[in-house]
Each structure stands twice: as C-alpha cells, then as structure tokens.
Chains A and B, each alone.
Chain A
Amino acid sequence: MFKKGRRPLDFWTVITALLFVLFLIFLVAPLLSLLLSGFRSPETNAFTLDNFRRFFQKKYYYQALGNSFAISFSVTALVLLVGVPLAYLMTFFHIKGKGFVQILIIISMLSPSFIGAYSWILLLGRSGVVTKFFAHLGIQTPTIYGFGGMLLVFTLKLFPLVYLYVSGAMKKIDTSLVEASSSLGCKPVRNVITLIMPLILPTLLAAVLMVFMNSLADFGTPMLIGEGFRVMPVLVYKEFMSEVGSNANFAASIAIIIICVTTGLYLLQRRVVNKMSFRMTTIKSIEPKTLTGVKGFFAHLYIYGIVLLAIIPQITVIYTSFLKTNGSVFVSGFSLNSYRTMFSKMASTIGNTYLYSFAAIIIIVILAMLMAYVSVRRRNVFTSILDIVTMFPYIISGSILGIMLLMAFNKPPLMISGTAMIIILAFVIRRLPHTLRSSVAILYQINPSVEEAAISLGESPGKAFFKVTAVMMIPGVLSGAILSWISIINELSASIILHTGSTKTMSVAIYNEVFRASYGTAAAISTVLTVTTVAALLIFFKATGKKEISL
C-alpha cells in the first residue's frame, strides 16, 4: 500500500536551506567584509585601528558626527512638535477636506527628500524665485543652504511619518477609555496628558526612531542643500567615491561608526518599547467632534498651512517642468522642451527604473512569503534570523548598503558590480523587511489547518503552500508591496553608489541633473516620478479600499 524507504527531503527543509544560503551570501558575508575592511590599513592591509584614530583625531571628520547628531535631534524634536498636534487635531475633530489633506500628507512623505531639497533651492536658493523677489524689494532672505535648509526639508518630509504613526495609534484608542476617564472626573485637557499620551507612547517612540534614523541616514538632501554643513552619509560617500585618494577602508570605518550608533539606538528603542507595550482591544474608536469659532479657525489654519508647505516642492517641480529653459536658466513662457530633452536623452532611465523596481518587487514578494512561512510555521533557525533581517534597514542606511555591496561584489566569484543585478539586489535588501513584516502579520491570521486540509487531501506540502496559503496571502502582501515599490522607484542613496552610465535610474538622473544645474530636465523627470508615485498610491487605495496607509 505504501512505498517503503527513507523519508524524502521535505520541501520546506530545502527552502529553508536555500534561504539560509542567500542570507549568508548577500547579507552576512558583505556585512562582515565591510566590518573587517574598516579595521584594515589601506596601505598594508594589516589589522589596525588607525582608521578610527584618524576619524576621531581630525576635526574635519568627527565634526560630521556631531553635525549628524545635531541635525537628527533637531529634526526629531521639530517633527514631533509639528506631527503630534496634527495627528491629534485630525483624529479628534472634524476637519474639512480631511481625506484630501491625508492624501497630500502621504504624497509628501512618499516623494524623495532630495526633490524637496531641490525645489526649495529653486524657491529660496541663491537664484531662487522668492529670493530674487525679496532682493528686488531690498530685503535679504535667510540662506537656505546648510543646517536651516536641511532642517526645513527633513521636517517637511518626515512629519508625515509621525502623523501616520500617531494617528494610527490614536485610532486604536477605544472611545470607552476616554469616557471612563471622564466619568471618573477627568477634564478633557488632563485626558490628553494622563490617558492619551501614555497610550500612544510606544508608537511615538517607534516614530521617533524612524525619524531619527531617516534624517541620520539621508544622503541626497545634505548633498544638495547642506553645502558646508558636513554630515556622516556625505562623508562616507566622499571618502569612498572621491576620484583622488579614495579610501575604501576609511569609508568602511566611518560606516562602522554609523552602524554602531544606529544599532545602539535601535536596540535601545526596542527594549524600551517592549517594556512599555500593552494590548488594547478597540471596539469603537474615538468619534471626532466639531470645532467651532476661533478654535476651529486656528485648527484649520494650522493643518492647511503645514500641508501647503509640505506639498510646495511637488507643485514647484511640476510647474517648473513646463517652463521654457535656456540652458540652465528658466526664461518666461511655457514649453514642453524639458520633457523633449528628457525623452531624447534619458528615456533609458525611466525604462531602467520600471524594470529594476518590478524585478525587485517580484523577488521581494516571493522571498518575503517564503521567509515568513518558514519562520512562522516551521519555527526553525529562520525565526531568529528574521529578527536580524527586519532590523537591517534600520541600522544599515542606503549609502552604507551601497558601499557594502560594491565592496563585496566587485570581484569574483560574484562579480555583479556595474550590472543591473547589483542595483536590484540593493532594492531587495532595502525593502524586503517591510514586505516580510507584513507577510508575517498576514500569515499569523491564516489558520495553518487550511493548508493541512489540502495536505490531508493528498497535496504535497510545497504545492499546498502555493495553491492555498500563498493564494490567501497574496492580496495583503501585494497591497503592501505597492508601497514598497513606491519607495524603490524613489531610492537614491544606494543606487547613486551602485549605478553606472547604463544602469541609471530616474532618481539618480534627477540628482545628476540638479548638480549640473539642468533644472528643467530635473523637474521633468521628477514630475514623471511624482505622477508614477501618485498613480501607484491611487492603485493602493483602490486595492485596500481605504484612504489611508498604516506603517
């Protein structure tokens, strides 16, 4: 009746082994070699601490670390000041045009920060529109370059993160909690302090970490608008890429310093959040109230003001893309010349962007579902590895990832530097954790017995996964993947390091054009990128049936 013999190799054992090998080759090995090269002397290749000594001895270097902390702390503080009240007002009160405001906030978050930097230069830069206007009146506007400009750009780019996190947490507060507190004699204002703030605190801390890491790791903004204000990602990039005296070992040691900082912060945050976290069951979320009179006026003024500021870069970019240009100078009148130039000279970047991002997202979805499965359902070695993988993008910023991959794969046996593969690989590593996390969450909601039912009916475990579990997972995974796709097409800091002439993506092209001061073509590409982003976002809304995203 049954064939005798040894138990055949289980499908999931094979998959686990395969994933493990991928994990070793593409994450562990490159990271280790980066770490090791930071401890090697560039001249003799011997182990040494000289690189670190050099960093901490020269003010030119260690000042960048101080600057990075200064900007990240300031951004985090300012973003909290802007984002938390915004979330509070939007959740607890009726705001006119709430849905639209929400979409604008999401768009300003999804579009890359270097586009923000670049359009603020167009407005407030040395030859910016606003600067010139005030100069005519004899008024000198404050400079946009350096610390102030970075603060402005980062704040406007990152407050949506805090807004989305915090308003998500506030929506989870059951209205009965507020009612209970009031029934015990608590005044509305005290409710905010004694009840609402503590309830959202874990979420708030997660948001703080995200904001801090983002402003610490961002490369495009300081590069465009930072000028003399040197920060760590720029330093790493320059040390690694500079034509003369490029020093990979020194760059690696700077990367190690950044990784230490980010790892420390990440672990600290996780520890604190774990200690504070609690479960809430929400039956009925808080019902928004109507604000009348002066209060209502100021609430609306505040919200519209911030959102307008945040969306100005997009409007500027789209507007300038239709302006007539003469070389790098805008002249009066409208034309489609910027688009013509773009399509004639840079059509391939658009193609590249779509090709690489789709390839990456397909790989991400497949890998994420398989990894989620082996870590949730098989509870093996992968369950613990999962943690490391999900923590990866927090502690390894884009530029460090770029350097890491370039150093690891520019020599045999895996010589893929300069190819599209290495860019796709970077995309996968950067965005896999996000899809992985959502896949794990989705898988926890699917009862294992559905798949066991298929197996009991005679389906092999591998087929049962693809025919049953995967089919049930895919809607949720895909809608999350749309958001990942959006951030992939906007990715700059890794691709700027990994690209070559033929593998340029749109964001790299924008960056190059801005640097060459071809603002017209830069605006045209940015517009294509923004339109793509908004289109993808609309698809996401359609797919999930909601007008919001949760992080």
Chain B
Amino acid sequence: MSTGIQIRNLAKRYGDLTIIPDLSVEIMSGEFFTLLGPSGCGKTTLLRMIAGFNSIENGTIAFNNQVINHVPAHKRNIGMVFQNYAIFPHLSVRENVKYGLKLRKIPKKEMNERVDQILEVTQIKEYADRLPENLSGGQQQRVALARAIVVHPTVLLMDEPLSNLDAKLRLDMRSAIREIQKDIGITTVYVTHDQEEALAISDRIAVMNDGVIQQIGSPHTIYTRPANLFVGGFIGHSSFFAAKRKGNCVVFSDQYQVEMSNLVSDCGEQDVYVGVRPEEILISANETGIPAIVKRSTFLGRYIHYVLECQGCTLLGEHKDLEFTQEINVAERTYSSGDSMMIQVNTKSINVFSASDQTSLIEGVSRNV
C-alpha cells in the first residue's frame, strides 16, 4: 500500500543557472533510496522538489503515477527529516510529535496511542514532556524522525539527517533509521554526501553529479562495478592508471599487462583508465608486475596503508601516487619508506573505463540497474 515515486524529465533552474538539467528516476514503493553525491550536485534540490519546497521548472514528479507538481507542500502528505532536526523549540517532545496528527484531526484516543507507540519505537518515551533544548542531538533527531513517521506519510524524505551527529551516534542512528524504515515499510528518499552511510543504509543508491544521475544501483553494484569514472572515483579510494586496452588485455607498461575475462566485446586498441582500489593490489610472488617504491606507510591496526610511487606506468592525479592497503594477518612481510616491491592488480575486481567517454568497459555494467 506504500507509494512509488516517478520522476520524469525533471528540470530545476534558478534564473540562468541550471541545477538539474533533465532527470528521470523511478523510486520503488517501500524502498530505501539514497541520493548520494558531492555538495552542490543537486541532491538536496531534488529532495526539496519532491517535498514541494522548490518549484519545478520542467518535467513531472508523480506519487503512484499521479502528478503532484501543483500540489503545495502541505498537501503532499510527506514526512520530512531535516539536517538540523527542525524541532519546534517552543513545544515539548510529545507536542512536537503530535503536531501533524492534530492537523489531520485524528481522534484523541487514537492520537495518543499512535504518539505513545512511535515514542516507544524511537526510544524517546522518557523524554516525552521535556522541551527540545534539554535533549542531545541524537535524541532530537529521534524526535524529528518520530514526528515525521507518526503521520503515516506517503513518503519519508530525509535530508542529511545524521551529518550533525558525532561518529558513534551516527552509527547507532543509522541502524535505528534502517530498522524503523523496514518495520514500517515506507518509501524513503535519503540524501547524504557520506558514501559509507549510503552504502550501509540503502536498498538502492543514485550517485549524482552536476544535477545528473551518474549511476543507480545497489550499494554492492555501485561499489564494485561503478558505471563511469566519476562514480569510480567518488566511491571508495581508487587510484587510476592511464593504460591501453588491446583485445582482452590491459597494458599498464612495457613490462606489465594483464588479461581480463569480463571486458565488453573488443573494439580494437583504445586508451583506458584502470581504477584500482587499495585492497585490489597484490604483492607479486615473482618478478612480473609493476616495480614500486614505498613513499609513506601508515600503520592502522588491522591494515598498513602505503603510498607507492610506481615506475614505468602513468597514474592520474596530482601526486601520481598509488594507494595500497596490506592486511596484517595475511602479510608475509611489511615494508617501510624507501623499500621497493613488485605489485600486481586483482583482475577479477579492477574496473576499466574508456578514456574517451569515461564509461565502464566491464561487461554487464550499466548506469541504471
């Protein structure tokens, strides 16, 4: 009975400035959908358009295929959670939560039951009669969540709800939000710039940049098989080699080339960028590979993080550094600054992008799954 959101050819402009040129996406009913991207990518703008706080310059937004472009915000029956909580400071916790129910003229008995129930679910019952100023950030955020959910909104919209919390609390709230959302089964659109948060909490993620959705997919897909160079660079810590593709081979340097089994069908020789994550680098058991010198090493407990200078091949980026993490448990030896090593890449997990249009050359990877 939950609601799907259909967005078609949506555009947002402020005067001459185009924030979102042309965006289409379908958010499934009951799913936890995250808009992820760097600041200024238009994710909050999109969320506020769904909420009705931003005007729509072109295209349509529909709830269950009913266009809502001209329905004002207060009639859309949304639940919204704001970055700064936006708790009414002059009302007690209970009155805050009751606010939307009163507007919906819910009978008193039912209203009290629903408030009590949601206070319990969000674990703020003991603070019910306090004023918000006496609550911690995490507690305030629970109030905001309870207030948004208790009205049984069509969709739940969350705008960076955790970014003002400290790291530990963020983790707790993250799982709380996820659990509550799954229990109630409400369609949720969640905005964040924190990729770890997005990966942990979402059913699907839309990675945005410059008002354009770069890729939509499950957290696993987005992380392991980025559809283009932007997504590959934005998610995780990839280093990029400038390399050549010849048939099924990727040539890193005169000394090192690998054969791939999952490249899209051959179109001759072309320039490519190879995205390699720090954990996708292996230390060569023999003399084949890329020779590298350790510039810096940082001990991180379970891992050692190295910054390497590679020889005979080209890396993108200002410093032309290659990042490599070595798991301590399985390490035969560790290295210090100045040591040299021979490295290889894990051909099963690395990503190859066309240098000309920056899209992935891995078979079966698409922008929209």
Contact = CB atoms under 8 A, between A and B. Distances in A.
B169 interface: no
B147 A1 contact: no
Given A1-B66, A453-B147, A471 B79 contact: no
A29 B80 CA distance: 45
B171 to A, nearest CB: 24
B74 A472 contact: no
Contacts of A1: 63-64, 66
User: Interface centre among A447, A449, A468, A472, by most B CB within 10 Å?
Assistant: A449
26 contacts: A1-B64, A5-B70, A6-B70, A7-B70, A8-B72, A10-B72, A447-B82, A450-B86, A450-B88, A452-B80, A452-B86, A453-B88, A453-B144, A455-B74, A456-B51, A456-B74, A456-B79, A456-B148, A457-B79, A457-B103, A458-B74, A458-B75, A458-B77, A460-B72, A460-B74, A471-B90
B82 A2 contact: no
A467 to B, nearest CB: 9
A418 interface: no
A461 interface: yes
B150 to A, nearest CB: 9
B119 to A, nearest CB: 16
A10 B53 CA distance: 12
Contact of A453 (B63, B70, B82): B82
B331 interface: no
Interface of B: 51-53, 63-64, 66, 68, 70-80, 82-84, 86-90, 99-100, 103-104, 144, 147-148, 151, 157
A399 B90 CA distance: 43
A456 B154 CA distance: 11
B147 A457 contact: yes
B74 A459 contact: yes
* Interface footprint category on A: 20 to 34
B153 to A, nearest CB: 8
Contacts of A457: 74, 79, 99-100, 103, 147-148, 151
Contacts of A453: 80, 82, 86-88, 144, 147
B78 A456 contact: yes
Contacts of B89: 450, 472
A250 B64 CA distance: 71
B90 A472 contact: yes
A312 interface: no
A449 B84 contact: yes
Binding site of B, secondary structure by majority: helix, strand, loop or mixed?
Answer: loop
Contacts of B64: 1
Interface string A389-419: 0000000000000000000000000000000
A469 to B, nearest CB: 10
Nearest to B153: A456
A454 interface: yes
B103 A459 contact: yes
Contacts of A8: 72
User: Interface centre among A1, A5, A472, by most B CB within 10 Å?
Assistant: A1
Contacts of B71: 2-3
Contacts of B51: 452, 456
Contacts of B70: 4-7
A271 to B, nearest CB: 27
B67 to A, nearest CB: 9
A460 B64 CA distance: 23
A461 B74 CA distance: 8
B362 to A, nearest CB: 41
Contacts of A464: 74
Contact of A458 (B66, B88, B100): B100
A181 to B, nearest CB: 36
Interface of A: 1-8, 10, 447, 449-450, 452-461, 464, 468, 471-472
Contacts, number: 83
A464 B88 CA distance: 11
Contacts of B76: 2, 456
Contact of A449 (B52, B86, B148): B86
Given A1-B64, A449-B82, A457-B103, 14 more contacts: A2-B66, A4-B70, A6-B70, A447-B84, A450-B86, A450-B87, A450-B88, A453-B80, A455-B53, A456-B80, A456-B157, A457-B100, A457-B148, A472-B89
Contacts of B83: 449
Contacts of B73: 452, 455-456, 461
Contacts of A460: 72, 74
A218 to B, nearest CB: 42
A42 to B, nearest CB: 49
Contacts of B90: 471-472
Contacts of A2: 66, 68, 71, 75-76
A457 B150 CA distance: 10
Contacts of A3: 71
B166 to A, nearest CB: 20
Contacts of B104: 458
B86 A447 contact: yes
A456 B84 CA distance: 15
Contacts of A472: 89-90
A456 B76 CA distance: 8
Nearest to B82: A449
B14 to A, nearest CB: 11
A7 B74 contact: no
A236 to B, nearest CB: 45
Nearest to A457: B100
Given A447-B84, A452-B80, A458 B63 contact: no
A455 B51 CA distance: 10
Nearest to A11: B72
Contacts of A468: 88
User: Which 8 pairs between the two chains have the least Cβ-Cβ distance?
Assistant: A457-B100, A456-B80, A449-B86, A449-B82, A453-B86, A458-B103, A450-B86, A455-B74
Contacts of B74: 455-461, 464
B154 to A, nearest CB: 8
A507 to B, nearest CB: 38
Nearest to B99: A457
A4 to B, nearest CB: 8
B72 A7 contact: yes
Contacts of B103: 457-459
A11 to B, nearest CB: 10
A210 to B, nearest CB: 34
Nearest to B159: A449
B88 A454 contact: yes
Contacts of B147: 453, 457
A454 to B, nearest CB: 7
A7 B70 CA distance: 5
B77 to A, nearest CB: 7
Contacts of A450: 86-89
A185 to B, nearest CB: 41
Contacts of A458: 74-75, 77, 100, 103-104, 151
A457 B75 CA distance: 9
Given A1-B64, A5-B70, A454 B82 contact: no
Contacts of A471: 90
A537 to B, nearest CB: 27
Contacts of A455: 52-53, 73-74
Nearest to A450: B86
A272 B64 CA distance: 58
A472 B76 CA distance: 25
A474 to B, nearest CB: 10
A77 to B, nearest CB: 47
